[in-house]
A and B are shown apart, each in its own frame.
Chain A
Amino acid sequence: DSGVTQTPKHLITATGQRVTLRCSPRSGDLSVYWYQQSLDQGLQFLIQYYNGEERAKGNILERFSAQQFPDLHSELNLSSLELGDSALYFCASSGSGGLSGYRTDTQYFGPGTRLTVL
C-alpha cells in the first residue's frame, strides 16, 4: 500500500460527458502528479501540482484540467470525453519538494482509475 488513494477505481461513461477523478496523496507529501496510461503505452505525464500551485505541465489536453486543494488532495477533470480518452489514470505523490534533490524525490503511485468511454 503506497498510501496514495484514488477514487473511483472504475468509471464508465459516454462520449461527450465530463468526469472527475480524485487523488489523496501520502500524508505529508506536497506534490501530486497525474499520469495517463493508454493501451500498450507507457505512462504519459499530464500535470504536477506542488502545494496547491501548478508546477509542470506535460501532454495534457485542453479538455482536461486539474487542481490541488488546501488539504492537498487533487482532482483531475476530464470533459467532452472521447473514445480515445479511455485509459488508466494514475496519481502519484512525492515528498518534501525541497530544492535539494527535488527532482529525484521518489514518486509513490496510487492504484489508478480505469476510465472507459463508450
Chain B
Amino acid sequence: DQQVKQNSPSLSVQEGRISILNCDYTNSMFDYFLWYKKYPAEGPTFLISISSIKDKNEDGRFTVFLNKSAKHLSLHIVPSQPGDSAVYFCAASSAETTGNQFYFGTGTSLTVIP
C-alpha cells in the first residue's frame, strides 16, 4: 500500500528552466514532508522539508509547496542546473507513528539537459 506516490518516473528539463516534481499522498495523518535527492551509488541526501502548518518553504533555488486539501506537494527547482540531475524522493512522516520513520515515494529521475 503506497501511501506516498510519485507518478512521474522521469522528467527532462533544459538548463536554466524550472523543474517541477510532484508528489501525492493518501494518509491524512502525514504532517511533515521532505524531499531527498539521490545520486547513483550514493544514499539519499536531505534537500528540503515542510511542516503541514505551512504551505511553502524556500531554500535557495528549491521551493516546496504543500496543498493539504489536495494531499499534494511539489518541488520547484529554479533555475535548473545539470548538477541537479538525480533521483528525487518525496517522503512523509505521520503523527500516528511512535517512531520517526519516513514513508517514501518511488522517486522521479530528473535529467537537466545542458
Pair B106/A42 contact, Cβ less than 8 Å: yes
**How many of chain B's residues have a CB under 8 angstroms from any CB in A?**
29
Proximity bits, B1-25, A CB within 8 Å = 1, else 0: 0101010000000000000000000
Pair A108/B49 contact, Cβ less than 8 Å: no
A109 to B44: give the CA distance in the assembly, Å. 6
Residues of A close to B44: CB separation below 8 A: 43, 90, 109
**How many of chain A's residues have a CB under 8 angstroms from any CB in B?**
31
Main secondary structure of the interface of A (DSSP, over half): mixed
Pair B43/A48 contact, Cβ less than 8 Å: no
Q: Which of A63-114 contact B (CB under 8 A)?
A: 90, 92, 94, 97, 102-112
Query: How far is the CB of B10 from the nearest CB of chain A, in Å?
Result: 12
- In-complex Cβ contact of B43 among A4, A55, A56, A103 (8 A): A4
CB-CB nearest in chain B for A6: B43
Residues of A within 8 A of B (CB): 2, 4, 31, 33, 35, 40-45, 48, 50, 55-56, 58, 90, 92, 94, 97, 102-112
